[in-house]
Amino acid sequence: MNATKRPFAATLQAVLVVWMLVSIVLLGQQASMQLYQIGLISLVVSAISQIAVGNIPPTANFKRSALLYIWFIFLVVVIFAVSIALAPWLASLGR
């Protein structure tokens, strides 16, 4: 048997998709408020991670994936921070 090894980045993308689906199921259930809260936090974390992982080439190995993931998460945090900082100023322009 000559099984080809799946690249790390492709596996990580598949895991994140499953994680997001489980998070959505937790949001949709009506049995427990605690499960809902876990699902909400989990969905936010997995969605932000998916933004970063979605920009990593699927053929990247573990080391390259980790470096790119850290870089993209840094960029996402900077963009969110700048957006939050600029929101009041932009809102005042419309008045």
pLDDT in tens, the chain (95 residues): 556 778 888 888 899 999 999 999 999 999 999 999 999 999 999 999 998 888 888 888 889 889 999 999 999 999 999 999 999 999 998 87
As for how many domains the chain has, the answer is 1
DSSP 34-88: HHHHHHHHHHHHHHHHHHHHTTS-TT--HHHHHHHHHHHHHHHHHHHHHHHHHHH
- Is residue 57 included in any domain, yes or no? yes
- Is residue 76 included in any domain, yes or no? yes
- Is residue 1 included in any domain, yes or no? no
Query: Are 63 and 44 in contact, with CB atoms under 8 Å apart?
Result: no
Q: Fill in the DSSP letter of residue 31.
A: S
- Domain extent for 80: 8-93
Q: Is 12 left (phi over 0), alpha (psi -120 to 50) or beta?
A: alpha
Global pTM reads 0.74
- Is residue 3 included in any domain, yes or no? no
